[in-house]
């Protein structure tokens, strides 16, 4: 073989880098992107991203329950055109996907929420922004024309929380997610093992070594603005203190009274795992619930969300929209949730891996992977539109 021919073959074999990011060129699944992300991140950020609560039983259960899903496809059926469009909270969306709210995304990539907002805008899907965002809500809004939802942690004497809601409202956010599974913060042993809260000499050495081993991350960390939480108060050391006291166990249904006075758009409860809470949410006039166990990061030993979803959908009875998250990594997982009655699926780590791997390009690539897998699943199931996805295409596992 002539050398020029070998070069040509090599060129043919090399896939085009998605959106110019070579690190993504051979990433065909979210797990592929996760591998790149884990290589790029230092130990502490890796632990924060992947950890579950306590013994991580729910973290694993989320995945094992989804892995056990079985489809019973309708064949043969014409599937020459696949339509993934839907409406979420009354707004048209090209995909039944929402990007989950996440605290401190700038720990994964220096652009943080700016990059995620641009990717969500490009895909035309909603983006949930955490109370613990690391970019001001006004700046995030300037980066996206897609719907933005504000996720609220309620804490303390409520005045700071009220100010945060007002700022999100004035910046044009369209929906409010009230997180109810975080009244106190769970223990997360993987994070604790990194010792990040303890200023010991061993930690200084580990941190230094980790910095050297992950030079790109370290460079951006040291040369971009310091990580802070600008939506809960002034960007100074006090915001860190505030976070420590944030999960103070004081959130109750009564909080809906003041929230409703400030917020006239849709309100969803995030972190619902019981049918009776979905019923109460409907009675309180809320617009939706997110069936979530916080990605397995809060109370351990709660069920996988896909296992409780059907009962919650039945209890809601069409009075409110039921969304779901926790453990979703593939388009086929999303198809299964929709078949069980979810309106849309929120994805947390499945966009964060992209953010950590390659910023905006990485998030866009992850959304594309999920969208393409969803389309393939729908075609192979013989269900060309989202409304064709129903419980009939799933086989319930024998008890």
Ligand X SMILES: Cc1cc2nc3c(=O)[nH]c(=O)nc-3n(C[C@H](O)[C@H](O)[C@H](O)COP(=O)(O)O)c2cc1C
Q: Considering only residues 19-58, where is the footprint of ligand X by CB under 6 A?
A: 48-49
Q: How far is the CB of 201 from ligand X (least distance, A)?
A: 28
- State yes or no: residue 112 binds ligand X (CB under 6 A): no
Is residue 366 within 8 Å of 334, Cβ to Cβ? no
- State yes or no: residue 330 binds ligand X (CB under 6 A): no
Stretch that binds ligand X, among 12-20, 241-249, 288-296, 379-387 (CB under 6 A): 288-296
Would you say 79 or 267 has its CB closer to ligand X?
267
Q: Is 154 helix (H, G, I), strand (E, B) or coil?
A: coil
- State yes or no: residue 270 binds ligand X (CB under 6 A): yes
Considering only 327, 331, 354, 362, the residue that binds ligand X (CB under 6 A) is: 327
Considering only 292, 332, 377, 383, the residue that binds ligand X (CB under 6 A) is: 292
342 CB-side CA count, 13 A = 26
Q: How far is the CB of 15 from ligand X (least distance, A)?
A: 26
Is residue 254 within 8 Å of 143, Cβ to Cβ? no
Structure tokens belonging to residue 8:
């040509």
Q: Is 294 one of the catalytic residues?
A: yes
Q: Which of 294, 301, 351, 365 is catalytic?
A: 294
Q: How far is CA 234 from CA 222, 239, 346, in A?
A: 21, 7, 30
Is residue 140 within 8 Å of 117, Cβ to Cβ? yes
In sequence order, what are the residues at sequence separation of 6 or more whose Cβ sits closer than 8 angstroms to the Cβ of residue 35?
Answer: none
- State yes or no: residue 65 binds ligand X (CB under 6 A): no
Q: How far is the CB of 151 from ligand X (least distance, A)?
A: 5
- State yes or no: residue 231 binds ligand X (CB under 6 A): no
In sequence order, what are the residues at sequence separation of 6 or more whose Cβ sits closer than 8 angstroms to the Cβ of residue 367?
Answer: 95, 97, 119, 120, 123, 125, 351, 354
Q: How far is the CB of 351 from ligand X (least distance, A)?
A: 8
Considering only 17, 32, 82, 103, the residue that binds ligand X (CB under 6 A) is: 103
Stretch that binds ligand X, among 5-13, 115-123, 341-349, 373-381 (CB under 6 A): 341-349
Considering only 324, 328, 335, 359, the residue that binds ligand X (CB under 6 A) is: 328
What is the DSSP secondary-structure string of 179-239? E-S-SSPPP-HHHHHHTTT---HHHHHHHHHHHHHSHHHHHHHHHSPPP--TTSSSSSHHH
Q: In this chain, which residue has its C-beta nearest to ligand X?
A: 348
- State yes or no: residue 350 binds ligand X (CB under 6 A): yes
Q: Which residues of 158-194 are buried (b: 16+ CB within 10 A; e: fewer)?
A: eebbbebbebbbebebbbbbbbbbbbeebebebbeeb
Catalytic positions are 294
Contact footprint for ligand X (CB under 6 A): 48-49, 100-103, 130, 132, 151, 179, 270, 292, 294-295, 297, 325-328, 347-350
């Amino acid at each position: 073989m002539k050398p020029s021919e070998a070069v040509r073959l090599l060129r043919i074999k090399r896939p085009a880098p998605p959106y110019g990011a070579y690190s993504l060129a051979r990433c065909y699944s979210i797990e592929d992107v996760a591998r790149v992300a884990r290589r790029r991140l230092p130990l502490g950020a890796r632990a924060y991203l992947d950890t579950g609560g306590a013994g991580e039983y729910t973290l694993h259960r989320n995945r094992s329950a989804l892995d056990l899903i079985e489809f019973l496809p309708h064949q043969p059926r014409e599937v020459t055109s696949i339509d993934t469009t839907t409406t979420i909270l009354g707004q048209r969306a090209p995909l039944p996907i929402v990007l989950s709210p996440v605290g401190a995304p700038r720990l994964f990539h220096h652009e943080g929420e700016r990059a995620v907002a641009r990717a969500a805008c490009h895909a035309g899907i909603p983006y949930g922004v955490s109370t613990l965002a690391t970019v001001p809500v006004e700046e995030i809004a300037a980066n996206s024309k897609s719907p933005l939802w504000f996720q609220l942690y309620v804490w303390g004497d409520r005045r700071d929380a009220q100010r945060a809601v007002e700022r999100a409202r004035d910046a044009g956010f369209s929906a409010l997610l009230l997180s109810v599974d975080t009244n106190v913060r769970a223990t997360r042993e993987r994070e604790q093992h990194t010792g990040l809260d303890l200023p010991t000499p061993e930690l200084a050495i580990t941190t230094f070594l980790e910095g050297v081993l992950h030079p790109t991350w370290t460079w951006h960390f040291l040369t971009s603005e310091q990580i802070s939480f600008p939506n809960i108060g002034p960007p100074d050391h006090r915001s860190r203190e505030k976070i420590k006291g944030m999960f103070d166990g004081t959130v109750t249904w009564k909080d809906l009274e003041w929230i409703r006075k400030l917020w006239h758009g849709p309100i969803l409860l995030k972190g619902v795992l019981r049918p009776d809470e979905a019923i109460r949410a409907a009675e309180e006039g809320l617009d939706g619930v997110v069936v979530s166990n916080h990605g397995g990061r809060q109370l351990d030993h709660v069920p996988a969300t896909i296992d409780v979803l059907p009962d919650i959908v039945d209890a809601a009875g069409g009075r409110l929209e039921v969304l779901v998250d926790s453990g979703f990594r593939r388009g086929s997982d999303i198809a299964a949730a929709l078949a069980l009655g979810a309106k849309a699926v929120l994805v947390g780590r499945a966009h964060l891996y992209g953010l950590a791997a390659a910023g905006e390009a990485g998030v866009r690539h992850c959304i594309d992977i999920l969208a393409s897998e969803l389309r393939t699943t729908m075609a192979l199931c013989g269900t060309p539109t989202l409304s064709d996805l129903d419980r009939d295409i799933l086989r319930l596992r024998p008890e």
